[in-house]
Chains A and B, each alone.
Chain A
């Protein structure tokens, strides 16, 4: 069983389009995250949700809107895609709290904006 899954794995789209990436975890964790890894491999946190509530938003443009329908799912919707949005987007989950911070990552979604 896959612990953290993401769909789609690959996404190629045109500038200006709107797209969504879905994430699900079956680990029973309370906290979920979205990370962006750019072409230079820098892995940067975008959002964190705990029990469906947003707890971290790291100066991400408001074209990016996360949605958490329940604590096992955290989806990412991106409006008006730009060339600079091309990256690998990783979803992750953790139990949260002190000494329970281990991040379990999904396989990533490779987004290419043309």
Chain B
């Protein structure tokens, strides 16, 4: 099993809808999880981190973590065209605190 698995997409949603991005990971002892956003031609930037099971909300973004299922998701409410980007799930590299990245899910929000 790959360390991090994400659907590469593209995921296309209309403006104002909820975008749901999913990620599974293989390292059962992972304690911290990150979501990065990467616009085309730009570098990744952190948008959310989550350390405990359950939900964490930050503005229009909600990260959900289920350690038992080794699953983490990102919900984007009221999606805007400016949210169109690739979203990278990043659990830590085995035995470390260093994020390791999935291939990312491409999100397209159309007006």
Contact = CB atoms under 8 A, between A and B. Distances in A.
B78 interface: no
A17 interface: no
A106 interface: yes
B40 to A, nearest CB: 10
B104 A41 contact: yes
Contacts of A44: 101
Interface string B43-81: 111100101000000000000000000000000000000
Contact of B51 (A43, A99, A105, A108): A99
A98 B100 contact: no
**Chain A interface mostly helix, strand, loop or mixed?**
loop
Central interface residue in B36, B44, B88, B100, by most chain A CB within 10 Å? B44
**Chain B interface mostly helix, strand, loop or mixed?**
loop
B104 A98 contact: no
Nearest to A96: B97
Interface in A22-61: 33, 35, 40-45, 48, 56
Interface in B70-111: 86, 88, 92-93, 96-101, 103-104
- Indicate the size class of the contact surface on chain B: 20 to 34
B48 to A, nearest CB: 11
Given A48-B98, A105-B45, A56 B93 contact: yes
Nearest to B100: A45
B88 A101 contact: no
B7 to A, nearest CB: 14
B43 A90 contact: yes
Contact of A98 (B32, B36, B46, B88): B32
Interface of A: 33, 35, 40-45, 48, 56, 90, 94, 96-103, 105-108
The 3 A-B residue pairs whose C-beta atoms are closest, nearest first, are A105-B43, A43-B101, A101-B97
